[in-house]
Amino acid sequence: MTIEKPARKTLEDNFAYRSDFKYTHDNPYHDKLEVFDSFVLRDEEAESNVGKWGQLFKNEKPIEVEIGTGYGEFMMEYCQKYPDVNFIGLDHRFKRSFSVAKKLDKLEHKNFRYLRARGERLEFMFQENEVQSVFYFFPDPWPKTRHHKKRLFQKPFLNACHKVLKPGGTLFVKTDHDGYFEWMLEHLKDETRFEVLLQSRDLRNEYPEHFLSQFTTKFEKIFLSQGTLIKSIVLRKI
Of these residues, 84, 140, 176, 190, which one is catalytic? 140
pLDDT tens per residue across span 162-216: 999 999 999 999 999 999 999 999 999 999 999 999 999 999 999 999 999 999 9
- Determine phi and psi for 230, rounding to 5 degrees: -90, 120
Is 140 an annotated catalytic residue?
yes
Model-level pTM?
0.93
pLDDT of residue 163: 98
Identify the segments of the chain with pLDDT beneath 50: 5-7
pLDDT of residue 168: 98
pLDDT of residue 15: 78
DSSP string for residues in 13-31:
G-GGGSTT-------HHHH
pLDDT of residue 3: 53
Q: Sheet with 165-175: list strands edge to edge.
A: 40-42, 112-116, 86-91, 63-67, 131-137, 165-175, 231-237, 194-200
Q: How far apart are CA 92 and CA 73, in angstroms?
A: 16
